[in-house]
Structure 1
Amino acid sequence: MSKSSASPNAPGFAKTFVYPALLIFAVPLGSLLFFLHVQASFDADLLASITQQINQDAEMPAAEKAEAIQFFTDHPASELVASGDADLGLTPEATGYYAMFRWLIRLSLWSLLAGLAVLALVGACIPISMRSHHAQYLCLSIGWHVLRIYGALQTIVIGVLLVALSFWVTAFWFEIYFVKLIFIAGAMALLGIAAVLKGIFKSTPNENHIVGEPADPVANAALFNRLKEICAKVGTTPPDNVILGIDNNFFVTEMPVIVKGKQYTGRTLFVSLSLLKQLHEEEADAILAHEMAHFSGQDTLYSKKISPLLTRYGHYLGALQEGGASLPVFYFMNFFRALFELSLSKLRREREFRADQIAKQTTSTPAMAGALSRVIAYSAYREEVQRQLFSEEVALEQANVAERVEQGFPEYAATFFSQPDVGELESAHPFDSHPPLAHRLEAVGLRIELPEMQALLAQTGNGRWYERIADAAGLERAQWDEFEAEFRQYHEQSLPYRYLPATDQEREVVVRHFPGVSFTGKEGELRIDFEKMAFTKWEEPIYFREILQLQMTEGGELQIKLQRGSAKQKASIKLQKFPNQQEVLDALNRFWGRYQTAVAYQSERAEKTS
């Protein structure tokens, strides 16, 4: 379940994606203009020198002088050097400079034209991709391959141009160059190229793990027979696998899934036991008809094709974001990823509305509306229960999520539609997204404001489908036990990051997870615990609450600024004097990070309760 809301202060699409994408043209355009200017300046200096030589030639007639000067004026030295039509008597160094300018100008121009071509090509794919699943897959596939090749080449080009600019900008205007600046530009170029290679060749595993229990077709013959009946009405074949779990959703996929270490291929349906218990029989029929409709519309087939492309695209973007010279390419490709998301969102909405309509026709409008509302209400309530439990400030003796949800959900469901912003809630899904509840209800012919909507959820579901599953209670309880044990463990691990211990019990929790450590160096022993650090050379320990700033120098010295009473003081410790310097630094970061997190948490908590 998720809730979408647009913040009035949120940056717009142009500021977030379009403007940064234009950075791809900044280096090539700047290089083009700069090296055209440098080449023109060299041409002007050489023309002045040639004109002076011609005018000083006493034997050349005036008419020939004028003709020669006009020729060199009409044909700059850069043009003559490139064509080889005239011997200007240039030094090898000057000839090399002209060749360098010529290729840098060409490289900049090709880069700009390639960017515009890719912009037009991939941009044209967006409206085409909105026509159908097949068109979307083709456009995304073509766009991905074009952008990947373009991104690799463009990163190399930008790197070369940056190195060239790092030398020539200062050499041309200030007649000096800085080796450090050239080194930095070269490092950025190498980082960019490394990022591209990492993105291209790094494997992108796309494993989908599902927590649940595969349903035995023999033991659950009633379940599989009813699915066959629904599939016959919908016009598709039954799923190959049915996974029984306790997640707060139902979903289908054709991507390989891993359940308890074993991979299952083909069509997979996930069924929530916990939700089945809350649904009326006809509502469960509607939900399952909706999911089978995704099979009939080949939605899952194209999700299976598109998902690996999106995964590789995401890994490539992540690699580009890490590289120096590749950052403009990252923004450019991120812009197209955002545009493709418009297409993906449009077709996702269309296929959800189509599946809702098929489910409505297979069952009834009230059944479909009730199923949608009850599933989303259950998801919202379960998240609320888990959120309340997780906010507890002491270790949980029991994380009885299942019991709390089952007991409290009927009352919650009865008042679900009276809560604010209900229409913006969406169904949870591990592989996809859904339109808001209000839009889906309107598409099947109902509105949230209608009195009958509240009546749909006022009656507790009869759980008939739950009763048809072999050992449903045992399967569900076993999975809840595992989930609640993990929930308790995660909750307890979070407590040390919340406490600024005020009681012995809180101190015991923090110390259990953050036991004190000590390190011995050449200048003495450093001891660190959850609230302070002490060093042999210091007269007294320094408490974390006293520290204003921690800073590491290039030489490996930790400098500490602290406040004691009304006085500000300084202390330091030479970490380079410890044989295990990195371990010391890691420990300091861990203990100091815990303290800062706890301070932030307590501050936020105080604001909420004030």
Structure 2
Amino acid sequence: MSRPSVKAPTPGFAKTFVWPALLIFAVPAASLWFFNHVEASFDADALQGIIQGVNADDGLSPEEKTAAIQFFTENPVSKLEASGAVDLDLPAQLRFYYATFRWMIRLSLWSLAAGLIVLALVGACIPISMRSPPAQYLCLSAGWHVLRIYGAFQAIVTGVLLIALSFWVTAFWFEAYFVKLIIIAGVLALAGIGAVIAGIFKRTPIVNRVAGKPAVSAANAPLFQRLREICDKVGTTPPDNVILGIDNNFFVTELPVTVNDQTYEGRTLFVSLSLLKQLHDEEADAILAHEMAHFSGNDTLYSKKIAPLLNKYAHYLGSLRQGGAALPVFYFMNFFRALFELSLSRLSREREFRADRIAREATSAPAVAGALTRVIAYAAYRRKVEQQLFEEEVALEEANVAERIEQGFPEFAASFLAQPGAGEVELAHPFDTHPPLAQRLEAIGLRLEMPETRSLLALAGNGRWFERIADAAELERAQWDEFEEQFRNYHEQSLPYRYLPATEEERAVVVRHFPAVTFAGKEGALTIDFEKLSFAKWSEPLLFAEVRQFQLTDGGELQISFARGEKGKQKTAIKLKKFPNQQEIVDALNRYWGRYQSAVAYRRQLAEGAANEAVKSDA
């Protein structure tokens, strides 16, 4: 769901994207140096042999010997072999070696050159894409195709070079080769190539699921009439679909949306019933004018065109990230995706400023400012309420999110703009990014510190728009009931990962989700429950609290390091190969051990938080 977001400190762009992207040049650069070095070494050995042969040839005069030695010194055997100008009568194996060096050098050079060309071409697309939505779409489309082809080429070349290096590095420097190393390189190469193929041909359908209910025009004549009036002011046509929900935002899109397994095409407006209840009628007008302005500027049209490209790009990156030798390609592609995000964010924010300006012209600056601040404050308060409920340490009999919001929001909203950092809050959105609140207010002629701005949320909204919608209360209550039930269930499922049971009630919750499981084996039964392992060969169970490490060997032996009493560190093992369901045991152990570790980490975090609060109180 949408929620307000504040920018958090992030690693530098260079560290996150640029330096990893340069890994694309690592393998070809290393290969270029290495195979040039090996070729030069072979040339030096060949030259020594030629010099010895020339000096030993009594049929040549001193002048002819000098000329021959000078010729072969100036023209290395590798170059003569490649040109075919001189028949050197080299052994077949040596000719094969030279051909290998030659092609590895060529592939390395082609790879480096292609990387630099793509870097320049796609890099030039970024500033061009910032000029307008059509330019952005064309640049993103062209960039995607260029990068996809380059990614396939680079993955194949990197794989070939890795295989060649895996043999020749050890063969040249240690006069030996290792089959396992070659096999590993081959597996990485095949994985990389497979990842590229999977990424290119993988179908990437876009499914935009929206929780809500379509508004029927016949039953909501006032709503659709007011939308038509607003569209006339803005200069656009009304939406084809209006979805009524309880999300903490309003948005429009021309992408297909799926509501209760039914897909709706065309222009869609999502209206938050819960927000309408909190807004003054002129604020609701302003926010709807803002959304309709996105239609008037073809913002949603270009979002519809760009979304499939971004979706394909994301799936391609996902495939490359899992793909062995394709990992450098992933970092290179991810670097350009980050650059394109700069363009996407810039134009997206410009669209938001434009929509705010149009909404101000259709209504008023205070109405737009009130709508912005009230929606952002509502999202912040809803998040706070949900967080407080989720942090409850006992199962919730009811998750009364809606009731808590309605009771506490007016007071929260009245003081929201006085909170530190309020001006930096951005409203999250399913399709676009938004500028910080302070910038949006300044763009419509208001400043955060102005008294009239600070007083915008002093009075609670009248909710008149909510009252105009047929069965609004019933629709909203039904959706809140469904949401709160899901919230309560999710909260209850999280409790076992928080408890190191101290009471019978807590123990019952954990056991309900993590009941003891027993596996029969040739050496006796193994039982795993939420706090320990019990094995027939052991005199007593092994508590998770005693375990330091689990390790599964290639031979199917589960080795366990633990610490107990005065004996300190100890080890034991279970031969899982003596159980018919080895994988089930491993899966169960991962789940139960993971639950225990999560609970330990959670309790430690709570203790540290309490200690920090105590220090603050003392200070």
TM-score, structure 2 length as denominator? 0.97
Structure 1 position 368 matched with structure 2 position 368: yes
Letter in 1 for 2:424: E
Q: Quick one: distance in 2 between partners of 1:159 and 1:4? A: 42
Q: Quick one: distance in 2 between partners of 1:64 and 1:428? A: 82
Give the corresponding residue for 1:112. Answer: 112
Letter in 1 for 2:102: R
Give the corresponding residue for 1:498. Answer: 498
Deviations 1:16-38 (A, max 9, x none): 11111111111111111111121
Give the corresponding residue for 1:542. Answer: 542
Query: Within 5 A, what are the aligned runs for 1:151-190?
Result: 151-190=151-190
Query: Within 5 A, what are the aligned runs for 1:354-393?
Result: 354-393=354-393
Give the corresponding residue for 2:217. Answer: 217
Q: Say whether the 8 Å CA contact 2:5–2:428 is kept in structure 1.
A: no
Give the corresponding residue for 1:321. Answer: 321
Letter in 2 for 1:307: A
Q: Quick one: distance in 1 between partners of 2:560 and 2:58? A: 79
Q: Quick one: distance in 2 between partners of 1:563 and 1:33? A: 51
Q: Quick one: distance in 2 between partners of 1:182 and 1:255? A: 48
Give the corresponding residue for 1:24. Answer: 24
Give the corresponding residue for 1:150. Answer: 150
For 1:44, what is the secondary structure of its paired residue?
A: helix
Give the corresponding residue for 1:268. Answer: 268
Q: Which moved more, 1:566-575 or 1:450-459?
A: 566-575
Q: Say whether the 8 Å CA contact 1:248–1:428 is kept in structure 2.
A: no
Q: Quick one: distance in 2 between partners of 1:39 and 1:526? A: 60
For 2:495, what is the secondary structure of its paired residue?
A: helix
Q: Say whether the 8 Å CA contact 1:514–1:591 is kept in structure 2.
A: yes
Q: Quick one: distance in 2 between partners of 1:176 and 1:541? A: 50
Q: C-alpha displacement at 1:5, in angstroms?
A: 3.1
Query: Within 5 A, what are the aligned runs for 1:82-161?
Result: 82-161=82-161
Give the corresponding residue for 2:5. Answer: 3
Give the corresponding residue for 1:198. Answer: 198
Structure 1 position 51 matched with structure 2 position 51: yes
Q: Say whether the 8 Å CA contact 1:277–1:464 is kept in structure 2.
A: yes
Query: Within 5 A, what are the aligned runs for 1:466-545?
Result: 466-545=466-545
Q: Quick one: distance in 2 between partners of 1:174 and 1:541? A: 51
Query: Within 5 A, what are the aligned runs for 1:270-349?
Result: 270-349=270-349
C-alpha spacing 1:483/1:546, structure 2 compared with 1 (3 Å): same
For 1:326, what is the secondary structure of its paired residue?
A: helix
Q: Which runs of 4+ in 1 moved over 4 A?
A: none
Q: C-alpha displacement at 1:451, in angstroms?
A: 1.5
For 1:534, what is the secondary structure of its paired residue?
A: strand
For 1:325, what is the secondary structure of its paired residue?
A: helix
Q: Say whether the 8 Å CA contact 2:528–2:534 is kept in structure 1.
A: yes
Q: C-alpha displacement at 1:65, in angstroms?
A: 2.1
Q: Quick one: distance in 1 between partners of 2:410 and 2:524? A: 64
Q: Which moved more, 1:94-103 or 1:367-376?
A: 94-103
Q: C-alpha displacement at 1:489, in angstroms?
A: 0.6
Deviations 1:57-89 (A, max 9, x none): 222222222222222222221121112111112
Q: Quick one: distance in 2 between partners of 1:504 and 1:176? A: 65
For 1:236, what is the secondary structure of its paired residue?
A: coil
C-alpha spacing 1:570/1:83, structure 2 compared with 1 (3 Å): closer
Letter in 2 for 1:324: G
Q: Say whether the 8 Å CA contact 2:4–2:376 is kept in structure 1.
A: no
Letter in 1 for 2:268: T
Give the corresponding residue for 2:15. Answer: 15
Q: C-alpha displacement at 1:40, in angstroms?
A: 1.6
Q: Say whether the 8 Å CA contact 2:212–2:259 is kept in structure 1.
A: yes
Letter in 1 for 2:5: K
Letter in 2 for 1:395: A
Q: Quick one: distance in 2 between partners of 1:387 and 1:298? A: 37
Letter in 1 for 2:605: E
Q: Say whether the 8 Å CA contact 1:193–1:326 is kept in structure 2.
A: yes
Q: Say whether the 8 Å CA contact 1:381–1:409 is kept in structure 2.
A: yes
Q: Quick one: distance in 2 between partners of 1:386 and 1:356? A: 29
Q: C-alpha displacement at 1:488, in angstroms?
A: 0.7
Q: Quick one: distance in 2 between partners of 1:114 and 1:280? A: 58
Q: Say whether the 8 Å CA contact 1:212–1:244 is kept in structure 2.
A: yes
Q: Percent identity of the aligned residues?
A: 72
Give the corresponding residue for 1:591. Answer: 592
Q: Say whether the 8 Å CA contact 1:286–1:367 is kept in structure 2.
A: yes
Q: Say whether the 8 Å CA contact 1:557–1:574 is kept in structure 2.
A: yes
Deviations 1:443-487 (A, max 9, x none): 111111111122110111111111110110011011011101111
For 1:65, what is the secondary structure of its paired residue?
A: helix
Q: Which moved more, 1:212-221 or 1:35-44?
A: 35-44
Letter in 2 for 1:600: A
Q: Say whether the 8 Å CA contact 2:498–2:599 is kept in structure 1.
A: yes
Q: Say whether the 8 Å CA contact 1:144–1:309 is kept in structure 2.
A: yes
Q: Quick one: distance in 2 between partners of 1:603 and 1:303? A: 45
Letter in 1 for 2:132: S
Q: Which moved more, 1:349-358 or 1:62-71?
A: 62-71
Structure 1 position 573 matched with structure 2 position 574: yes
Deviations 1:287-328 (A, max 9, x none): 000000001111111111111111111111111111111111
Q: Quick one: distance in 1 between partners of 2:136 and 2:101? A: 43
Letter in 1 for 2:118: V
Give the corresponding residue for 1:247. Answer: 247
Query: Within 5 A, what are the aligned runs for 1:350-429?
Result: 350-429=350-429
Structure 1 position 80 matched with structure 2 position 110: no
Q: Say whether the 8 Å CA contact 1:379–1:428 is kept in structure 2.
A: no
Deviations 1:258-305 (A, max 9, x none): 001100000000000000011001100000000000011111111111
Letter in 2 for 1:512: R
Letter in 2 for 1:603: R
Q: Quick one: distance in 1 between partners of 2:402 and 2:360? A: 30
Q: Which moved more, 1:42-51 or 1:234-243?
A: 42-51
Q: Quick one: distance in 1 between partners of 2:555 and 2:131? A: 61
For 1:244, what is the secondary structure of its paired residue?
A: strand
Q: Quick one: distance in 1 between partners of 2:8 and 2:458? A: 31
Deviations 1:93-131 (A, max 9, x none): 111111111111111111111111000000000000000
Considering only aligned residues, what root-mean-square deviation do their CA atoms show, in Å?
1.1
Extract unaligned runs of 5+ from structure 1: none
Q: C-alpha displacement at 1:521, in angstroms?
A: 0.3
Letter in 2 for 1:176: A
For 1:60, what is the secondary structure of its paired residue?
A: coil
Q: Say whether the 8 Å CA contact 2:5–2:427 is kept in structure 1.
A: no
Q: Say whether the 8 Å CA contact 2:38–2:172 is kept in structure 1.
A: yes
Q: Quick one: distance in 2 between partners of 1:190 and 1:251? A: 44
Letter in 2 for 1:411: E
Q: C-alpha displacement at 1:138, in angstroms?
A: 0.5
Give the corresponding residue for 1:609. Answer: 610
Deviations 1:220-240 (A, max 9, x none): 111011101101111111100
Deviations 1:374-399 (A, max 9, x none): 00000000110111111111111111
Q: C-alpha displacement at 1:6, in angstroms?
A: 4.2
Q: Quick one: distance in 1 between partners of 2:104 and 2:590? A: 46
Q: Say whether the 8 Å CA contact 1:424–1:436 is kept in structure 2.
A: yes
Query: Within 5 A, what are the aligned runs for 1:429-448?
Result: 429-448=429-448
Q: C-alpha displacement at 1:11, in angstroms?
A: 2.5
Letter in 2 for 1:578: F
For 2:527, what is the secondary structure of its paired residue?
A: strand
